[in-house]
């Protein structure tokens, strides 16, 4: 159901509808109906198909616990909220979510980039955090481990990264505020 509601799908459906209405108007000799709908419908249809061919669906947002929802609006969690908002929207012209970030961290493989599958908002010891589940594809887990110290600092100062491998070919990246000493 999610893919039918994508902007690319909606533009494609609108363009196809206008085109069909235009061709029906042409077939029934109704130039007032056929001319504008064909001239607008076909370019809109082509634009929708172009969007559809380059779209990247949003990562699945797993329902947060009540504790995480309560911590979500804290000022310290602003960066993580922006990150959630970014990866849970439709993207166009990208191979994977967080593409530029992963490239900067040298965690990118052009042929088989890591794919973000889901995001979960966490509450750990009274701190708001995120858990992001990636399909590793062409970037081995060992390379992620080498970058673990930099991962948290990359997204915002005061964050730490925890890595685990829940299944073969998967990575769980948890971003949490550094615990006060």
Domain that holds residue 135: 57-177
- Residue with the larger pLDDT of the pair 145 and 34: 145
Residues 48 and 94 in one domain: no
- Of the listed ranges 61-75, 103-117, 148-162, the least confidently predicted one is 61-75
Residues 67 and 148 in one domain: yes
Quick one: pLDDT at residue 176? 87
For residues 105 and 115, give the distance between their C-alpha atoms in angstroms, rounded to a whole number: 15
Residues 62 and 150 in one domain: yes
Quick one: pLDDT at residue 1? 43
pLDDT of 4 strictly over 80? no
Residues 23 and 109 in one domain: no
Q: What is the count of structural domains for the chain?
A: 2
Quick one: pLDDT at residue 47? 94
Residues 150 and 97 in one domain: yes
What pTM did the predictor assign? Answer: 0.81
Taking alpha carbons only, the member of 143, 145, 152 closest to residue 174 is 152
Residues 49 and 68 in one domain: no
Average pLDDT over residues 128-147: 92
DSSP 39-98: HHHHHHHHHHHHHHHTEEPPPEEEPPPHHHHHHTTSGGGHHHHHHHHHHTS-EES-SSTT
Residues 37 and 66 in one domain: no
Residues 163 and 75 in one domain: yes
- Token representation of residue 79: 């960066």
Residues 164 and 137 in one domain: yes
| 3-state secondary structure at position 170 | strand
- Residue with the larger pLDDT of the pair 179 and 107: 107
Residues 42 and 121 in one domain: no
pLDDT tens for 11-56 read: 999 999 999 999 998 899 888 888 888 899 999 999 999 999 999 9
Residues 6+ apart with CB under 8 A from 12: 45, 48, 49, 51, 52
> Which CATH number is 127's domain given?
3.30.980
Residues 33 and 120 in one domain: no
Residues 33 and 79 in one domain: no
pLDDT cut 70: percent of the chain above it: 96
């Amino acid at each position: 159901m999610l893919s039918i509601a994508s902007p690319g799908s909606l533009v494609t459906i609108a363009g196809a509808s206008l085109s069909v209405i235009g061709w029906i108007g042409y077939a029934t000799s109704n130039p007032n109906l056929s001319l504008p709908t064909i001239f607008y419908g076909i370019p809109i249809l082509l634009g929708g198909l172009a969007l559809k061919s380059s779209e990247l669906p949003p990562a699945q947002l797993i329902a947060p616990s009540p504790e995480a929802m309560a911590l979500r609006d804290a000022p310290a969690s602003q960066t993580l909220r922006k990150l959630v908002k970014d990866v849970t929207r439709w993207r166009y012209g990208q191979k994977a979510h967080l593409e530029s970030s992963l490239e900067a961290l040298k965690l990118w493989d052009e042929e088989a980039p890591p794919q973000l599958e889901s995001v979960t908002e966490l509450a750990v010891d009274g701190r708001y955090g995120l858990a992001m589940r990636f399909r590793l594809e062409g970037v081995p887990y060992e390379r992620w481990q080498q970058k673990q110290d930099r991962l948290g600092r990359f997204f915002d100062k005061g964050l730490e990264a925890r890595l685990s491998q829940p299944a073969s070919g998967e990575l769980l990246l948890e971003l949490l505020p550094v615990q006060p000493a």
